[in-house]
Structure 1
Amino acid sequence: MKLDEIDKCRVPKDEMQDGGLSHEDPTNLRSKKLQDDLQTLGTKLQLHEDNIRFLRTLKDKFVDSIIDLQVTLGKYHASSTPKIETQDGADTQSEDKPSDQKQILQQENSAASILCQLKTNPKMLASDPTLSDDVLGVVAELGKVDDSVLSSLLSEYLGTETMLAIVCKTYNGVKSLEKYDKEGCINKTSGLHGFGTSLGKTLEGRFNVISLETLRPYAGNFVANDPQKRLDIPNPRLPNGDCPPGFIGYAVNMINIDRTYLFFLTASGYGLRETLFYSLFSCLQIYKTRTEMLQAVPCITDGALSLDGGIIKRSGLFCLGNRDDVKVRFSKTSTNSSLPDHYTESERQMKEMKWKKEKILEDMRREQALLDSTRLNFERKKVEFVQFLAETAARQQTPVAMGRSAGR
């Protein structure tokens, strides 16, 4: 409904005055009120329609740019995928599984193992769009570290259950992994349990799932010009103001985000480091030796590790005894995984554009809801105004008809 339709229904002021109505007449006041309401609603309708057109144009531009970048990145992957030579001399793509996936698959009948197997079966995974779109992966495969000592330490600190935790973008992903019947019992034919049965596995025991949207993210700044977007957390300080001897850094910054997820952003615009890994490690400090770590106790708030095996879980909680044999660890960063600058920048741009596109889609849905609500109110107000005009006309004709009857 457009503004010109309001003008068609508008009652001219001179007609009201000719009918003998004063400016203070209730009928005149109500007519003006209805016309003003229609004018306001019509203006809002036009505004929401213009906003939707603008957002749609903006979204289309982002979609085109994303497609162009996907083509560019696709060409790089096609030319850089590792290949192996078969006995007949033909080149095929390498099918070696990353070490983190091998460790996960060895955890028979675990949720993480079933998920990893499920990822190798695209047709089966596609049968549950929410699970395939919302589930990112397992904690152990989302990050890497520079050396095996640090990998062992961080993995032991988190524990096998957390290393095998499944990470979802939103709570919708969590709900897709396990479903229940009316009595509240687990439905073994749906979710990850159902997929496990299809793969010949029985999901045993409990498993942890992390929803990124419900985590409290790091709210500070990032290290300037750092491609890994490390967190700019101030160094710890002893009571005398000095940085503790032997302090190496924070665990959250020693994780190298896998390049597949480096530019991932939640709907709120946060990446994996400031959500997942900050939630897991917070400001966990790393020291060279146990002695140096213990000397720094006054400035340790969120725990600390030392490269020779010392662990402080949190302030006042010390872990003693022999080190655990961790079955699932963070993989070591590959020395051959360096990427050209233009690739990294293109991937960053694509992730950012995808996030902006999702925000635009949210804005479009909100504008559409407002448009539908305003249109409904406009139609109701128009019906009310038309009914008012009909009643007013009927009242004006009644005295004329009575006068003619009296004259006869």
Structure 2
Amino acid sequence: MAVQSAERGVEAPPLTLSIFEFNSKVMQDELQKLALKVNHHEENIRFLKSELNAVEDSCADLGIKIGNYYSSMAAIANNDTSVEEAEQRTIQSILKQDETAAGIICQLKIRHYQHASKLPLMKDVLGVVATLGKINNDNLSRVLSEYLGLDNMLGVVCKTYDGVEGLETYDKEGMVDKTSGIHGLGRTIGKFLDGRFTVFCLENIRPFSGDFMIDDPQRKLLLHKPRLPSGEFPPGFLGFAVNMIHLDQANLSCLTAGGHGLRETLFYSLFSQLQVYKTRAELRNAIPLINDGAVSLDGSILRPNGSFCLGNRASLGIQFPVTANLGVSNLPVTITELEEQVKHKNWEKERLLEDIKRQEDLLNQVKDLFSKKKEQFMAYITQPGMLQRASQASPTIPSPATPGSNPFGSRPPHLRGR
């Protein structure tokens, strides 16, 4: 029996070492639990901030809609241009460019519609860039038209590459055949096309790969708005040019084999994430937040390559149709509904800010506790001579786990519950 006891004494770990390991394990476990709490609160804060960003974006969009509503109502009260009048004004401007591809196509569609509608070539042509979108602000229309330039504004838009090939053919020497394609059609109405012209092929344009705004009848693109370090939008920011183009219902539907419309193909390729600001000064203050260029309503243009367009503004003679009625067409029946939405979003914003503050306070508390516990743990395992005394396994050495010696106040399993 004595021998068995001796053997058990040799096999069992020394008492002091066992207590030391037990206390260390308890302290490590508690540190791990605190670390998990830190991660939990950080995840909550990230989620709440993403929700806050979404609410702030909605508030900004609603603010723009309300501004458009009031400016449009004022314009309507002053008998501003109707949609039809605005379209005709743009078309007449294109018709004056009678020796361009755009001018010839407009003449064929308007003055020779019966004949043109039967031509295979014309069936693939959607129209001219300047006629495929509308804007509810004259200053914006002017600056966006100037930004694109005359060649792009008069660009011919085709659905497929077959349409592009049909516009122009070549002889054996590689010279343009003046008797076929758009050149031949021009000759039939007494117009002779010379020089180059721009053609856009929708199926060859890489479409926008992101999401669309939910419940937006215009299928506007969901783009990340610029933000200051404070989280607020830069003063004067009105939106992205690609989303400020109004499309007719026919041009909102799927136009390509891949199911893409004009906004995410043609207009995104032209404008990308071009930002729009109220004034030149506000645009320049926001330069650090601008990646794909910007324009302002008072005529400032910042190109995506960082160059500015200076000097007096020159009228192209061609611009997108402008009509104030667009600001009202997609709004709720009454402005009250919009304003109620703004109130609700502001209430959501206040609640989210409160939740974020609460989570940040809890996170700071847990971090402080983690730091204190970690200091206690490091102090415990690095006590002078602790490891040496533990390795000696001497039963006469006082246990660090005796009352008052355990930094976390833990008790061995056989003492718990007493």
Which TM-score tier does this pair reach, normalised by the shorter chain?
A: 0.5 to 0.7
Task: Return 256-265 or 310-319, whichever deviates more.
Answer: 256-265
The answer on 1:128 being equivalent to 2:119 is yes
Q: In the alignment, which of 103, 121, 131 is matched to residue 93 of structure 2?
A: 103
The answer on 1:181 being equivalent to 2:150 is no
The answer on 1:325 being equivalent to 2:315 is yes
Paired position in structure 2 for 1:159: 149
Deviation at 1:335, TM superposition (A): 2.5
Deviation at 1:99, TM superposition (A): 1.7
Judge conservation of contact 1:304–1:312 (CA < 8 Å) in 2.
yes
Paired position in structure 2 for 1:140: 130
| 2-structure distance, mates of 1:95, 1:287 | 27
Judge conservation of contact 1:256–1:333 (CA < 8 Å) in 2.
no
Deviation at 1:239, TM superposition (A): 4.6
Residue by residue over 1:304-342, the C-alpha shift from the partner in whole angstroms, topping out at 9 and shown as x without a partner, is 00111111011421111111112100001362998799x
Judge conservation of contact 2:87–2:131 (CA < 8 Å) in 1.
no
Residue by residue over 1:126-178, the C-alpha shift from the partner in whole angstroms, topping out at 9 and shown as x without a partner, is 4531x222110000000000011111011010011100000000111111111
| 2-structure distance, mates of 1:187, 1:338 | 48
Q: Return the TM-score normalized by structure 2.
A: 0.56
Paired position in structure 1 for 2:201: 211
| 2-structure distance, mates of 1:151, 1:340 | 19
| 2-structure distance, mates of 1:336, 1:240 | 33
Paired position in structure 1 for 2:242: 252
Describe the SS at the equivalent of 1:194: helix
| 2-structure distance, mates of 1:215, 1:318 | 27
Q: Percent identity?
A: 53
Deviation at 1:238, TM superposition (A): 3.2
**Aligned in 2, Cα 1:170/1:235: closer, same or farther, shift over 3 Å?**
same
In terms of Rg, which structure is larger? Answer: 2
**Aligned in 2, Cα 1:339/1:312: closer, same or farther, shift over 3 Å?**
closer
Judge conservation of contact 1:146–1:332 (CA < 8 Å) in 2.
yes
Describe the SS at the equivalent of 1:143: coil
Ranges in structure 2 where 5+ consecutive residues have no aligned partner: 1-83, 332-418
Deviation at 1:226, TM superposition (A): 0.9
Describe the SS at the equivalent of 1:182: coil
**Aligned in 2, Cα 1:175/1:337: closer, same or farther, shift over 3 Å?**
farther
| 1-structure distance, mates of 2:329, 2:300 | 35
Judge conservation of contact 2:136–2:326 (CA < 8 Å) in 1.
no
**Aligned in 2, Cα 1:179/1:285: closer, same or farther, shift over 3 Å?**
same
Deviation at 1:248, TM superposition (A): 0.6
Judge conservation of contact 1:239–1:298 (CA < 8 Å) in 2.
no
| 2-structure distance, mates of 1:95, 1:248 | 26
**Aligned in 2, Cα 1:322/1:255: closer, same or farther, shift over 3 Å?**
same
- Greater percentage in strand: 1
Alignment of 1:4-403 (within 5 A): 98-120=88-110, 121-126=112-117, 128-129=119-120, 131-333=121-323, 335=325
| 2-structure distance, mates of 1:309, 1:132 | 36
**Aligned in 2, Cα 1:260/1:318: closer, same or farther, shift over 3 Å?**
same
| 2-structure distance, mates of 1:336, 1:315 | 32
| 2-structure distance, mates of 1:340, 1:303 | 28
Paired position in structure 2 for 1:87: none
Deviation at 1:262, TM superposition (A): 2.3
Deviation at 1:124, TM superposition (A): 3.0
Describe the SS at the equivalent of 2:252: coil
How many aligned positions are there?
247
| 1-structure distance, mates of 2:319, 2:199 | 18
Judge conservation of contact 1:238–1:298 (CA < 8 Å) in 2.
no
| 1-structure distance, mates of 2:86, 2:148 | 27
* Residue type of the alignment partner of 1:140: A
Judge conservation of contact 2:155–2:197 (CA < 8 Å) in 1.
yes
Judge conservation of contact 1:100–1:331 (CA < 8 Å) in 2.
yes
Describe the SS at the equivalent of 1:192: helix
Judge conservation of contact 2:136–2:325 (CA < 8 Å) in 1.
no
Paired position in structure 1 for 2:406: none
Judge conservation of contact 1:300–1:315 (CA < 8 Å) in 2.
no
Q: Return the TM-score normalized by structure 1.
A: 0.57
Judge conservation of contact 2:129–2:154 (CA < 8 Å) in 1.
yes
| 1-structure distance, mates of 2:274, 2:226 | 11
- Could you say what the CA RMSD is over the residues aligned between the two structures, in angstroms? 2.3
Ranges in structure 1 where 5+ consecutive residues have no aligned partner: 1-93, 342-408
* Residue type of the alignment partner of 2:102: A
* Residue type of the alignment partner of 2:113: P
Paired position in structure 1 for 2:382: none
| 2-structure distance, mates of 1:278, 1:242 | 25
| 2-structure distance, mates of 1:169, 1:324 | 32
